[in-house]
Amino acid sequence: MNRFPNHRILPYALVMPSVAIIVIFLIIPFGQAVYLSFHRVSPFGALRNVGWRNYLEMFASPEYLFSFRNTMIFSALVIGVGLTLALCIALLTTQKIRGAAFYQIAFIWTYAMSPIIAGVMWSLIFDPSIGIMARLISSATGLSVNYYTDPVAAFLLVTAASVWIMLGYNICFFVAGLQNVPHELKEAAWIDGASTWQTFWVVTFPMLSPTTAFLVFVNTVYAFFQSFGMIDVVTQGGPNRSTEFLIYKIYRDGFGRMQEGQAAAQSVFLFVLIAIVGAIQIYTSTKKSVYDR
Amino acid sequence: MFQRRLKYMFVITLALVLALAGVAAAQEPVTVEFWHSMTGARLEVLNKVVADFNALNPMMQIEPVLVGTYEECLTRFRAAYQAGQEPGIVQIYEVGTQTMHDSGMIIPAYQIPERLGETWDFGQYIRPIVQYYSKDGNLWSWPFASSTAMIYYNADHLRAAGLDPNKPPTTWEEMYEYGLKLIEAGVVKHALSFGWPDWMFENALALHDLEYANMGNGREGRPTAVTWPNEFTDELLELWAKMARDGVWIYGGAEYNANAAFQSGEITFLMQSTSSLDGILKTVGDSFEVRTTFLPRLANPKYARGNSLIGGNSLYVSNRVTDEELRVIFEFFKYLSRTDVAVYWHKNTGYFPATNAAVKALMDEGWFNQSPNHLTAFLQILSGKTDTHASAGMRMGPFAQAREWVRTALEKIANGEDPRAALEYSAEQINALLAEYNEFFE
């Protein structure tokens, strides 16, 4: 079958650049990571084949399991709290109120800020000795919160900062999604005697589901990968590794601790994990989402 | 018309480019890359030193590149070497010493003059630095930015709390007592914080002439285990835990995070590297009186006197440089050791003047009277012991990871966990890493 008659080579030539980029920057490094994951690398670059040892030790390591657990809690919070908050704010700012556009912009601008800058800001605000929030908390409650030593405080700080930085983006998409919900459907529901609450759950929320599914995916990617910059600026994975999420642990093990082999094994596992999670998410969201109007 | 003008412009540009290329080809200066981690106030000083060297001889050029933190610099050098992209000179922190010695990627410093058919007197560098970076009596890296830790304190705070600023604490017990008084007087909420907390733990051991790891502190062979937790660390960390509980000691994060608290007057005592001195003095300005003193010891007389540890960094040379490049590198190293350059470097950063001649010059011009804070750490290390493995400093392969584990233990202790258990756990992890490192040499 020839879908492009008279052009036998051209289609291939046209996709060549993309294929080349994918092979050079994705496939080959991935192959190297798999190869490396079966080796230990000495501090001077010599490789030693260790079979499955990196994988076995990874699953037996309390540090890895701790990191895995924390990553799961972190992503659940970023997605759960973040999206709920974003949806509430989006609902409020799409009401017919004075200055709705102002509120929408005011809430969305946080996304324009780089996670690094946001991280620096949050870490200074909560700095135990010079931060204004740390001072307010201690004068209000008498508790001194030190995220340099308190694992829970550090975890919450990173989570809150992540929710905050993603808020603008989430609101932006929810606002767009809400504006696309046909008004006549809501009117029909009201005429049938549905309350505002019922209208939201029966009409608006299902109509929003493509947006929600998309945002769940984007926020998962953020929690698993893009949170890196924030972590690196705010906690460097500490204290006591409480914020050393999977992606950050790969970086620390591979580059700081010079254990490339172990880091490669982790990245291969993370790849498999994300592939499975992504597949499940896309499968369920395309099945459950209401795309037709 | 317009097209013609474009054509002319093209021809002129081409001619210019060719002319420039011709000029470049005729001269061909030898350029050597120099990877470093000097940030903050130190960056400008380093760039000035390099620019002055480059101005001396246009045929010999050093190109400084800031590649990130010390840890990143070490990792990147290693990766770059494997890819054949390494710089001629790399600045490595003291933690990377064993790794660099084992790496097979470098020319030991003492062999550089030999290879060029020249000689160089390595005896001109001050003793503790030479000792720290030597292997079998020979220097393996070029002494550059050496420092040690000391106490910085806010003299105004001591006055405000009715304490004598001329009598800062000399023991950990006094530190605790002063801290409580400062807090009671309402001067500060927390009295003390550390920069490089892991390094302060190492310093405490060395200051009491205690080794950190076996195999003669890693100086007689690759160590297989750390020596702690032991009686000394129990005593010390019980005290630290007590200080944390009473709010005297506040854990301020790794590296230079705690400096901000000191500079803004939130804490009274900061234990930090001397290399922060000029940065701190500049930032604080006239807002309060900054003074410095020796690191505290435990009052218990049964522990011997050792010394504080050399920290900072030294310079390594890739073993793949050409003779022409090595010539430039050697000239640059000789330039760094010039008295006026060493003096400039010391005065503007707080790092030690590395040569004896520089120390004499500084003393002769009355610098240490004028700025006694620049003498403190130096006196501390020169007056301490230098003939034991404990005081010379430990050496181990997975040093960076060991530091991280020590930091983890200190974080746990600052957060109220049992010191012994926290340290025990970290020690086990470090021992496993040591075993893993040693496997590479089987």
Contact between A256 and B404 using a beta-carbon 8 Å cutoff: yes
Taking CB atoms and an 8 Å cutoff, what residues of chain A touch B268? Answer: none
A149/B contact by beta carbon, under 8 A: yes
How far is residue B320's CA from residue B115's CA, in Å, rounded to a whole number?
A: 13
Instruction: Between B41 and B309, name the one with better pLDDT.
Output: B309
- Least confident interval from A177-181, B25-29, B204-208, B364-368: B25-29
Cβ pairs A/B, distance under 8 A: 92
CATH architecture of B30-147+311-365: 3-Layer(aba) Sandwich (3.40)
pLDDT digits (tens, 9 = 90+) for B152-163: 999 999 999 999
pLDDT digits (tens, 9 = 90+) for B306-320: 999 999 999 999 999
pLDDT digits (tens, 9 = 90+) for B337-361: 999 999 999 999 889 999 999 999 9
**Cβ under 8 Å to A: B residues 173-232:** 189-190, 193
A60/B contact by beta carbon, under 8 A: no
Is this prediction's pTM over 0.90?
no
Q: What is the ipTM of this complex?
A: 0.74
B24-27, Cβ contacts within 8 angstroms, sequence gap of 24 or more: B27/B58, B27/B59
pLDDT at position B266: 87
User: SS3 letters for chain B?
Assistant: CHHHHHHHHHHHHHHHHHHHHHHHHHHCCEEEEEEECCCCHHHHHHHHHHHHHHHHCCCEEEEEEECCCHHHHHHHHHHHHHCCCCCCEEEEEHHHHHHHHHHCCEECCCHHHHHCCCCCCHHHECHHHHHHHEECCEECCEEEEEECEEEEEEHHHHHHCCCCCCCCCCEHHHHHHHHHHHHHCCCCCCCEEECCHHHHHHHHHHHCCCCCEHHHHCCCCCCCCECCCCHHHHHHHHHHHHHHHCCCECCCCCCCCCHHHHHCCCCCEEEEEHHHHHHHHHHHCCCCCEEEECCCECCCCCCCCCCCCCEEEEEEEECCCCHHHHHHHHHHHHHHHCHHHHHHHHHHHCCCCCEHHHHHHHHHCCHHHHCCHHHHHHHHHHHCCCCCHHHHCCCCCCHHHHHHHHHHHHHHHHCCCCHHHHHHHHHHHHHHHHHHHHHCCC
Other beta carbons within 10 Å of B430: 26
How far is residue A108's CA from residue A199's CA, in Å, rounded to a whole number?
A: 26
Task: Label residue B37 by pLDDT band (50, 70, 90).
Answer: very high
How far is residue B286's CA from residue A70's CA, in Å, rounded to a whole number?
A: 46
pLDDT at position A2: 61
Domains in chain A, CATH or no CATH each: 61-288 (1.10.3720.10)
Nearest to B266 among A129, A148, A151 (CB): A129
Which residues fall within 8 angstroms of residue B89, CB to CB, at 6 or more apart?
A: B32, B33, B34, B35, B62, B315, B316, B317, B318, B329, B332
Contact between B400 and A257 using a beta-carbon 8 Å cutoff: yes
Nearest to B408 among A42, A128, A240 (CB): A240
Contact between B266 and A149 using a beta-carbon 8 Å cutoff: no
**Cβ under 8 Å to A: B residues 47-76:** 71-72, 75
CATH architecture of B149-308+396-439: 3-Layer(aba) Sandwich (3.40)
Nearest to A256 among B71, B189, B440 (CB): B71
The length of chain A is 293
pLDDT at position B2: 53
pLDDT digits (tens, 9 = 90+) for B175-222: 999 999 999 999 998 999 999 999 999 999 999 999 999 999 999 999
- Measured in angstroms, the CA of B426 and the nearest CA of chain A are apart by 11
Contact between B71 and A236 using a beta-carbon 8 Å cutoff: no
Query: Please, where in chain B does CATH 3.40.190.10 lie?
Result: 30-147+311-365, 149-308+396-439
Contact between A43 and B397 using a beta-carbon 8 Å cutoff: yes
